[in-house]
Amino acid sequence: MTPMLDMTKTDLRSVNTTLQAAARRQANEAYEILNPRGAHALACGLDGPLSVTIKGSTGYYCAGMNKDATVTVEGSAGPGVAENMMSGMVTIEGDASQYAGATGHGGLLNIKGNASSRCGISMKGIDIVVHGNIGHMSAFMAQKGNLVVLGDAGEALGDSLYEARLFVRGSVKSLGADCTEKEMRPEHLEILAKLLEQAGADAKPEEFKRYGSARKLYNFNIDHASEY
């Protein structure tokens, strides 16, 4: 029987302590969190194989610093979901607020709805799939990893981008400094196909455009000063 933690009866600290202890002992168990009621920093710091299903929406920094665990939010998530994620998988069935997946180093963040501004800011190896749209300044200073958007992207996509790859199926309102459209080569189609399959996304790799760094801002150049 799946252990259930009801947050009308158990406080946030106790819920997180229970989940973290199970993760540390490599329990590979499944937990359900009932009545989260927008709790902040829920299911954070999980450092082992664990499956957590949150039956409702959460506040900020849900599943932060996740490592190896699988966390599913059956609702929407507040700012900073999966912030600094290392590995594992975090799925948001609804929408995600701003800076989803910020500074993430690895794993897959799968957002079934829309993501707000600054999605994937400073990402460092995480893969993010957004089934809907993303807001402005997404992938700002993104260093490594893949951001896949099935819908549209807002203003200043990929501003000050490093080596992350951005794939967008819909329209892009504007590109940020040093971000440019790039050729979609066979290896990119392969990467994209794998991510779409992992995320259960109904789309074909050939429908997307790829964006990346023009590499003009890696080192300061007076001729490009107006672009900084």
Q: Tell me the per-residue pLDDT of 42-86, one tens digit each, with 9 for 90 and over.
A: 999 999 999 999 999 999 999 999 999 999 999 999 999 999 999
Q: Residue 220: which pLDDT band, with cuts at 50, 70 and 90?
A: low
CA 224/CA 84 separation, integer angstroms: 32
Instruction: Kindly list the distances between the CA atom of residue 206 and the CA atoms of 117, 185, 212, in Å, as whole numbers in the listed order.
Output: 26, 10, 17
Q: Residue 216: which pLDDT band, with cuts at 50, 70 and 90?
A: confident
Residue 5 has pLDDT above 80, yes or no: yes
CA 19/CA 42 separation, integer angstroms: 10
Q: Which residues are within 8 A (CB) of 208 and not within 5 positions of it... i.e. 6 or more apart?
A: 148, 167, 168, 169, 184, 192
CA 76/CA 97 separation, integer angstroms: 8
Output b/e per residue, 35-57; b: 16+ Cβ within 10 A.
Answer: ebeebebbbbbbbbbbbbbbbbb
Q: What is the pLDDT of residues 105-153, one digit of tens each?
A: 999 999 999 999 999 999 999 999 999 999 999 999 999 999 999 999 9
Q: Residue 171: which pLDDT band, with cuts at 50, 70 and 90?
A: very high
Residue 219 has pLDDT above 70, yes or no: no
CATH class as words, domain 4-215? mainly beta
CA 225/CA 228 separation, integer angstroms: 6
